[in-house]
């Protein structure tokens, strides 16, 4: 059902200015949402103005947004009967490149214009131009196929319109490129469209594959004279181009939480030391599986630092001069894949060598993983001898870095 609302008349003021360029920022942000971990999309942060601000329910279902810009299109002279006034927008998908200034990573954004609207202002009240007494009848009779709430092909009806004696606000959906032309039924001494309203739709890259930071890029459209945005039929815009400046703000999460006391790891045989102390039965494993919780929304890498001569072994020692070797293995929760794809289960870490990158497939929020600290079989055989007692210590540092 169409919606039409009466309003006070608007006075006509014709002002011509030197053509210049208009600009508008389009900003979208990605922040991981623990309540919707599989929703890996950017959220448009650009405030709606124009059509979607006045009729938000019309845009919500189609995930479209609108902007109103003070670009005026003014008739060059009188408009005769049977004169075509056509609106045209860049309705096809267009691609632009956005760049992270810190990392120089490049991504692609796509955009299309899905609707156009404005408020036309006549030199005289519509009913006077048509010769009737009712303002609405004037707007309906002034144009072929009734008033401007009814779109001309290939544009489509949006269901909204608001009028005054000499003005009419409208908005049309634009599913395809081409002029959507309304013809006059009566002469109009002069008129102008006082704003450029357009609705748009975005396709943004998958933020889980992007680094944190700002990605920026621009797209410039021509305005008027058969350009991307045009009102044909002798209308001149006061801006010759429109530049949209895109800012994609990626705000990733990478957090690793240890349980209380989890930074102090004690290695023991399975079942404790009693079998070795009481019977001399040498354990087959001496280890500690240290759990942690990880929250991650972007790829990351892991580095192990310790007292080591290289490889996977870290050294522990004591004042008595005893030493032993410990290896560290990383297990990550499902939903985070390793360099070759698939789950990460007991993957060995190497001294001073980055492991990864590890890629979350969805936002992982406080999911359990573990670090397994385990003595090598050779170290167990060498260290555990009858009558030997000692306590060996060492520091092993695990660094998690999202700056891959």
Shared-domain flag, residues 27 and 93: yes
Cα–Cα dist 347/350, whole Å: 10
Are both 78 and 94 inside the same structural domain?
Answer: yes
Domain of residue 40, residue span: 3-250
- Of 188, 218, 250, which residue sits at a domain end? 250
Closest CA to 198 of 232, 133, 242: 242
Secondary structure, 3-state, the chain: CCEEEECCCCCCCCCCCCCEEEEEEEEEEECCCCCCCCCCCCEECCCCCCHHHHCHHHHHCCCCEEEEECCCEEECCCECCCCEEEEECCCCCEEEEEEECCCCCEEEEEEEEEEEEEEEEECCCHHHHHCCCCHHHHHHHHECCCCCCCCCCCCEEEEEEEEECCEEEEEEECCCCCCEEEEECCCECCEEECCEEEEEEEECCCHHHCCCEEEEEEEEEEECCCCCEEEECCEEECEEEEEEEEEEEECCCEEEECCCCCCCCCCEECCCCHHHHHHCCCCCCEEEEEEEEEEECCCEEEEEEECCCCCCEEEEECCCCCEEEEEEEEECCCCEECCCCCECCCEECEECECEEEEEECCCEEEEEEEEEEEECHHHHHHHCCCCCCCCCECCEEEEEECCC
Nearest in space to 89 (alpha carbons), one of 150, 44, 155: 155
Examine the domain organization and report whether 245 and 332 are in the same domain.
no
Give CA separation, 329 vs 109, 156, 374, in Å: 39, 61, 8
Which of 204, 220, 250 marks a domain boundary?
250
> Cα–Cα distance between 202 and 28 in angstroms, integer?
10
Q: Indicate whether 204 and 340 sit together in one domain.
A: no
Here the tokens at position 110 are 């796509």
The number of domains in the chain is: 2
Residues 372 and 346: beta-carbon distance below 8 Å: yes
126 lies in the same domain as 101:
yes
Residue 80: predicted pLDDT? 96
pLDDT score of 20: 63
Token pair 């895109």 in the structure block, residue: 246
Domain identity same for 197 and 306:
no
Q: Are residues 59 and 80 in the same domain?
A: yes
CB 101 within 8 A of CB 216: yes
- 261 in the same domain as 189: no
State residue 211's pLDDT score.
Answer: 87
Tell me: do 222 and 298 sit in the same domain: no
> Given the structure tokens 């600009």, which residue do they identify?
23
Per-residue pLDDT of the chain (404 residues; tens, 9 = 90+): 333 233 222 222 223 334 467 899 999 999 988 888 888 889 999 999 988 898 888 788 777 789 999 999 999 999 999 999 999 999 999 999 999 998 899 999 999 999 999 999 999 999 999 999 999 999 999 999 999 999 999 999 988 889 999 999 999 999 999 999 999 999 999 999 999 999 999 999 999 888 889 999 999 999 999 999 999 989 999 999 999 999 999 999 999 999 998 899 999 998 888 888 777 788 889 999 999 999 999 999 999 999 998 999 999 998 888 888 999 999 999 999 999 889 999 999 999 999 999 999 989 999 999 999 999 888 888 888 766 677 889 999 999 998 65
Q: Six-digit token pair at 223?
A: 């305005």
Q: How far apart are CA 118 and CA 120, in angstroms?
A: 6
Q: Produce one character per residue of 149-159: b if its CB has 16 or more CB atoms within 10 Å, e if not.
A: bbbbeebbebe
Q: What tokens appear for 94 in the block?
A: 């267009």
Token readout for 249 is: 């703000």
Pair (223, 273) in one structural domain: no
What CATH number corresponds to the domain at position 381?
Answer: 2.60.40
Do 264 and 394 lie in a common domain? yes
Last residue of a domain, one of 233, 250, 267: 250
Kindly report the number of other CB atoms within 10 A of residue 376's CB atom. Answer: 15
197 and 272 together in one domain: no
């Amino acid at each position: 059902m169409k919606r039409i609302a009466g309003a006070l008349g608007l006075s006509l003021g014709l002002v011509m200015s030197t053509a210049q360029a208009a600009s508008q920022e389009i900003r979208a942000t990605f922040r991981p949402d623990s309540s919707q971990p599989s929703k890996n999309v950017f959220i448009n942060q650009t405030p709606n103005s124009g059509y979607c601000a006045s009729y938000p329910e019309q845009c919500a279902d189609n995930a479209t947004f609108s902007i109103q810009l003070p670009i005026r299109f003014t008739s060059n002279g009188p408009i005769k009967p049977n004169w075509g006034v056509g609106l045209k927008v860049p309705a096809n998908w267009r691609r632009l490149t956005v760049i992270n200034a810190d990392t120089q990573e490049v991504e692609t954004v796509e955009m299309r214009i899905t609707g156009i609207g404005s408020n036309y202002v006549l030199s005289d009240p519509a009913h006077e131009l048509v010769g009737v007494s009712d303002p609405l009848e004037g707007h309906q009779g002034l144009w072929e196929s009734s008033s401007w709430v009814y779109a001309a092909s290939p544009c489509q009806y949006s269901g909204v319109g608001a009028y005054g004696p000499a003005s009419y606000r409208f908005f049309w959906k634009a599913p395809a490129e081409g002029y959507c032309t309304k013809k006059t039924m009566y002469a109009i001494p002069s008129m102008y469209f006082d704003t450029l309203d357009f609705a748009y739709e975005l396709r943004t890259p998958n933020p889980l594959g992007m680094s944190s930071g700002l990605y920026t890029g621009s797209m410039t459209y021509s305005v008027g004279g058969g350009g991307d945005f045009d009102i044909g039929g002798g209308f001149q815009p006061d801006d010759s181009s429109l530049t949209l400046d895109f800012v994609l703000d990626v705000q990733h999460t990478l957090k690793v939480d240890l349980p209380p006391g989890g930074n102090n790891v004690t290695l023991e045989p399975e079942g404790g030391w009693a079998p070795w102390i009481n019977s001399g039965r040498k354990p087959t494993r001496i280890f500690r599986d240290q759990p942690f919780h990880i929250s991650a929304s972007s790829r990351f890498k892991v580095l192990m630092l310790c007292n080591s001569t290289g490889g996977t072994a870290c050294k522990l020692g004591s004042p008595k001069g005893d030493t032993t070797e410990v290896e560290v293995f990383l297990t990550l929760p499902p939903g985070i894949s390793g360099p070759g794809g698939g789950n990460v289960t007991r993957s060995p870490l190497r001294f001073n060598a980055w492991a990864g990158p590890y890629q979350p497939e969805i936002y992982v929020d406080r999911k359990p993983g573990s670090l397994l600290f385990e003595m090598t079989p050779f170290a167990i055989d060498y260290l555990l001898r009858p009558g030997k007692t000692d306590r060996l210590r060492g520091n092993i540092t695990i660094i998690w870095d999202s700056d891959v």
